[in-house]
Amino acid sequence: MKKTISEHAARFSEAAPSYDDQKGEEYEACAGLVVRRAAPAAADTVLDLGTGTGAIALSLADDADRVVGRDISEGMLEQAREKASEAGVDNVSFDYGEFREPAYDGVAQIVTSNFALHHLSDAEKQAAIEAMASVDGGGTPSRNDTVGPRRIVLGDVMFFDGPDPAEPFFDPEVDDPATVGTLVDSFTNAGYAVTRVDRVHDQVGVLTAERVVTGGRET
């Protein structure tokens, strides 16, 4: 991470009031795909990390039983809470949480994140994905013990080929995007199979990862 957590939090809190007005078409396309790939069932709880102003969390609220948003920026969280209140959405909650320490000890069948993980170094991304995988995903029909979330959906700045200096999607002073291969390896190391890769742009994509159990991927 090229900035401290508190520095990132302050930067995003300052930008929070106008953040929704600054989103580009790639961001919006990515967000739409994250929501579509998450596809929660009516009984599912979704944990949305780096929730920002709550775009993903609020979009999933109608389909899920509960959505829990976590972010490091209190300014962003205030915007998310205001939007939930204005929309009359009562099955979404927002509070402080980091990628590697989400501050959530409940069950979540699905974990999502959009345009946030790229602030971490590759080693920190691995630790963050391991933290996502360690969230209690509840029991399964074939197992009595609890396992990780059945699905993790990550939308982010990521390199399919390599960074393009002529058309950057990141700020090298504060961002540190990974290659798609590095992210896939991180999911594999955490016990997940990347089952779908959506290429939004040469530097933007969505990865859908499914939990792997003994005998193959659980469906």
Specify the residue for token string 């991927």: 217
Q: What is the pLDDT of residues 81-130, one digit of tens each?
A: 999 999 999 999 999 999 999 999 999 999 999 999 999 999 999 999 99
What does the DSSP assignment read for 62-83?
TTSSEEEEEES-HHHHHHHHHH
Domain of residue 32, residue span = 5-217
pLDDT score for 168: 63
CATH (domain of 182): 3.40.50.150
* CB neighbour list of residue 22: distance below 8 Å, 6 or more residues apart: 15
pLDDT score for 166: 64
- The tally of domains found in the chain comes to 1
> What is the pTM (predicted TM-score) of this model?
0.91
pLDDT score for 164: 65
pLDDT score for 68: 98
pLDDT score for 145: 54
- pLDDT tens over the chain, length 219 residues: 767 888 878 887 988 888 888 888 888 999 999 999 999 999 999 999 999 999 999 999 999 999 999 999 999 999 999 999 999 999 999 999 999 999 999 999 999 999 999 999 999 999 999 999 999 998 765 555 558 999 999 999 999 987 665 666 667 677 789 999 999 999 999 999 999 999 999 899 999 999 987 654 454
> Cβ of 174: how many Cβ atoms within 10 Å?
14
Is the Cβ–Cβ distance between 158 and 194 less than 8 Å?
no
pLDDT score for 219: 44
